[in-house]
Structure 1
Amino acid sequence: MVDPHVVESAGIMTQIFDAHPWYMLGLVVLGFIGGTISGFIGSGGAFLMTPGMMNLGIPGVIAVSSNIAHKFGKAMMGSKKHSELGNVDKKLGFFLLITAAAGISLAVFVNKYFFDKMGKDGSDLYVSTFFVVVLSIIGSFMLKDALRSKREPGTGPSDTLLKMSRKFQLKPMIHFKTAKVDISLAALLVVGLATGYMAGTIGVGGFIGVPAMIYLFGVPTAIAAGTELFLAVFTGGWGTFNYALHGYVDLRLVLLLYVGSLPGIYFGVVGTKVVKELYIRMVTAVLILLCVISRLFAIPVNCKNLHLIDMSKDTIAMLEMGSKIFLFGSGLVATFLILFWTFRAKARERNPIEVSYSTSVE
C-alpha cells in the first residue's frame, strides 16, 4: 500500500516544478549560495538551504531529506579540498560518526512522525521551531564571542567552555594528532549523537559539530570545518538512505542544488585560507541569526494553516515576504562578501608590489 503522505508530498513537488519554471533557477542560485557558505564556514550551508527550500513552498521533511542527499556529494568535494589543505582529522571524524548515525536515524523517525500526523504545515512547524530554538542559542553565543575577539585583537575563540569541559573529562582520553588535542570518549559520543540528530532534523549538523570542536575540544577553526565536512560525507549518505526508504528524497531538487553548489563550495574553501578567522566566525554568527529571524516569520503562517491562530491574508503575505527577504537577502550579501574577500586576497598575492605601492601612496 502506498503511503498517502508520500503521495501528497510528491504532488506538492510536481505542482511547484510545473507551475513555476523559475524555481529551477532559484534552486541553482540557492545551491551556489549554500555551497559558497558551506566551504567557507564548514557547516554544509544547510542552515540557509533548508529554510530556503521551505520558503519556495517545499515541505520541511522534503527540504531536509533532499538537502541531506545533496550534502552528501557536496561534502565529498569540500572534504577532499580541505584534506588537501591539511584541515581534516579523519580519526576525529570517525569517532564522532559512532553515535552520529544513531542520531540521524532517530531524527528521521521524529520528522516522519510530524509529517504523517500533521502534513506539510506540521512538518514545517516542527523543523522551524527546532531551527529557531537551537540556532538562536548557538548564533548568539558565536556572535558574542566574535565581537569579543574584535574588541581584543589577537584573541581566538573563547576558551571558557574548553576550560569547563576539561574539569569534567571522563577517561578514556583519545589523542588526535592532526587537531593536536586530547578528548574524552564520552564527550565525543555525546557530541556525535547531537550532531547526527540535528543533521537529520534540519539538514545541518555543523552548527553542533563545528562549535563543539572549537569551543569544547579546542580544535582549530579550519580543522573543525574540514573535519565536519568529512563527517558529513558519512552522515549525509546514511541520512539519505533513511529518508529515501520513506520516499522523501526528491532527486530533481538534489541535482539542481548540485549545479550551483559544486562551483560555490570551491570558492568558499579557498576563502578559508585567505580570509581572517575572525571574519569567518562573524559571518557565521550573523548568518545564523538572520536565518533564525526568517524562520520566526514563517512560524505564525504554519500555525494559521494548522488553525492554531487566526490572521488576515495581508498579515500572512507580509510575514511570508519578510521571511524570504531575510533569508535570501542575507545569503546573497554573505556570498558577495566571501567572493569579494577571496578575490581581493588572491589579487594581492599575485600583485604584492602593486598592492604595497598603492597602500603607501594612500
Structure 2
Amino acid sequence: MAGAVEIPATVEAIKFISMTPQMAASLVGIGFVGGMLSGFLGSGGAFIMTPAMMSLGIPGIMAVAANITHKFGKAIMGSKKHGEYGNVDKRMGLVMFIALFIGVQLAVSVSKNVLAKAGTAGSNLYISVMFVVILTWVSWFMYRDVKRTAAGGVPSRGGLAEKIGSLNIPPMIHFKVANVRCSLWLALLVGLATGFLAGTIGVGGFIGVPAMIYLLGVPTYVAAGTELFLAIFSGMQGAYLYAINGLVDLRITLLLYVGSLLGLTIGAVGTRVVRGMQIKQVMTAIIAMVAVSRAVVIPKYLVDMKVIKMSQQSVSLFKYASDAFLYGSGLVGCSMILYWMYRAWQRASKMEKERAALGSEASVR
C-alpha cells in the first residue's frame, strides 16, 4: 500500500518486553535519576537513562524511543519550571528549531537502517559507540575548563571552540535572555547537532548544553533551560517517528514518567542554589563515567554479532563492570546535587537566623 511504513522483521522480533515487578521498579528508579539530572543539567538525563535501560535487556533502539517519547512531556514541565526562573531563551530555541527538526529526521532514518541491516546487537553497538565518542569528547572538553577555573584561571572555550564561537558570519542575532550576540548559522549548527543526537540516543542535551555554553557564550543556567525548551520539539518529533515504526513501548515510557517528574522538580530547584561551576563539575563526572560504561560493554555486543569470540564468563565480567560505572555515575551525580542543595539550605537557614537575631537586638535598643 502506498505510503505504508515497512517494518523490518528484526523490529517485530523485539517489540514485546516482559514487564516484571522488578523491571517496573527499575524503570521508575531510572526515571527518578534521569529526571533529577535533567532538571539540574538541562541534558535530559538520557546519557544515563538509555544505557541503564539497555543494561536491563531493553534493545537500544527501543530504549532511545522510550526515552525520547517520555522526554516530550518531561521537557514541557522542565521548560515551564525553568521559565519561571527566567532561564529559557525562547527566541534562541525557535531559531534552532528548523535545524533541530532536520537533525532528528536524519538520526531516526540512520538508526532504522542500522537495525534493519545489523540486527539488535548491531543497533546496540552503534548507539554505544555514539555514546563513547560524543561523551568522551564532551567530558574532556569540560574537564579542561573546570581544571582551569579551579586553578584560578579564567574559563575558556578552548582553541577550536573559541575560533568557532568568535565567527561573525551574517546575519548576527541578539538573544536577550541569554544576553549574547551570535551568528544565525552557528545557532543552526548547534540545533542540528542537538537534533541528531536526540534522535540517535534519546537526547541531545549533553552536546546542546555545552555547545550553547562554549560556542554561543550562553550562561549555564540559561543553556539548561533553553535546551529543555528545545527538547519539547525534538521529543515530539522523535516520539512520532519511532512510534510509526512500532518501536515505542508506552509501558516503559509511563514508568519513566513516574520517577522523572519528582526528580525533575528537585533538579530544577537545585540550579537556583548551586553555582554554575558546580553544575559543570557534576556534568563532567557523570558524563565521563557513562562514557567508560559504554566503552566497557562494547565487547559484549561484538560477541553478540559474532565478530569476536569470548567466554561467557568474560562477557559477564564486562557487563558487570559496565553496570558498576553506569549506576555509580547516577549515584555520584545525585549525591553531589543533594549535598550541595543541603549545604545551600544550611547557609540560607544560618543567614535567616542571623538576620532574626539582628532584628531582635535592634528592637531592644
In the alignment, residue 176 of structure 1 is paired with which amino acid? F
In 2, distance between residues paired with 1:275 and 1:233?
25
- Deviation of 1:344 after TM superposition, in Å, equals 2.8
Partner of residue 129, structure 2:
129
1:237-284 CA-to-partner distances (Å, cap 9, x unmatched) read 011011111011111111111111000011111111111211110110
Alignment correspondent of 1:360: none
Cα separation, partners in 2 of 1:126 and 1:183, compared to 1, 3 Å: same
Comparing 106-115 with 344-353, which one deviates more in the overlay?
344-353
Q: Deviations over 1:105-151 (max 9, x none)?
A: 11001111111122211110000011101110111111111111111
The partner residue of 1:9 within 11, 14, 28 is: 14
* Contact 1:48–1:331 (8 Å) recurs in 2: yes
* Structure 1 SS opposite 2:217: coil
Structure 1 alignment gaps of length 5 or more: 357-362
Is contact 1:162-1:218 (8 Å) kept? Answer: no
| 1:267 and 2:266 are equivalent in the alignment | yes
Gaps of 5+ in 2: 1-5, 356-365
- More off after superposition, 142-151 vs 219-228: 142-151
Structural mapping, 1:28-47, within 5 Å: 28-47=28-47
Secondary structure at the aligned position of 1:10 is classed as coil
- Asked if 1:330 is matched to 2:329, the reply is yes
**What's 2:71 paired with?**
71
Match of 1:292 in 2: 291
Q: Residue in 2 aligned with 1:195? A: 194
Q: Quote how far apart the aligned CAs of 1:332 are.
A: 1.5
Structure 2 CA distance for aligned equivalents of residues 161 and 210 of structure 1: 17
How does the TM-score come out when normalised to structure 2?
Answer: 0.92
1:220–1:271 Cα change, 3 Å: same
Cα distance between partner residues in 2 of 1:352 and 1:161: 43
Aligned-partner Cα distance in 1 for 2:165–2:253: 41
Deviations 1:7-62 (A, max 9, x none): 21113x13xx2xx4211111111110000011111100011001110111110100
Give the 3 Å change call, closer, same or farther, for CA 189–353 of structure 1 in structure 2. closer
Report the 3-state secondary structure (helix = DSSP H, G, I; strand = E; otherwise coil) of the residue aligned with 2:333. helix
Q: Which runs of 4+ in 1 moved over 4 A?
A: 159-163, 353-356
May I ask how many residue pairs the two structures share in their alignment?
351
CA contact (8 A) 1:39 1:268 kept: yes
Q: Counterpart of 1:183 in 2: which secondary structure?
A: strand
Letter matched to residue 190 of structure 1: L
What is the CA distance between 1:159 and its match in structure 2? 6.5
* Displacement of 1:156: 4.2
Match of 2:172 in 1: 173
**Structure 1 equivalent of residue 58 of structure 2:** 58
Q: 2:216 and 2:7 mapped to 1: Cα distance?
A: 46
AA paired with 1:87? N
Task: Point out the more displaced range, 28-37 or 204-213.
Answer: 204-213
Return the offset for 1:192. Answer: 1.1
- SS of the residue corresponding to residue 273 of structure 1 reads coil
Cα RMSD, aligned residues only: 1.8
Q: Which residue identity is paired with 1:10?
A: K
Match of 1:164 in 2: 163
For 1:178, give the aligned amino acid: V
Equivalences for 1:1-362 in 2 at 5 Å?
3-11=8-16, 13-14=17-18, 17=19, 20-152=20-152, 155-156=154-155, 158=157, 163-352=162-351
Q: Which moved more, 1:332-341 or 1:260-269?
A: 332-341
CA distance in 1, matches of 2:110, 2:45: 23
State the shift of 1:166 in Å. 4.9
- Residues 23, 355 of structure 1: CA spacing in aligned structure 2 closer, same or farther, 3 A cutoff? farther
Tell me how far apart the structure 1 counterparts of residues 61 and 149 of structure 2 sit (CA, whole Å): 38
1:185 to partner: Cα distance: 1.1
Aligned equivalents of 2:119, 2:351: Cα separation in 1? 58
Deviation at 1:350, TM superposition (A): 3.2
TM superposition shift of 1:289: 0.8
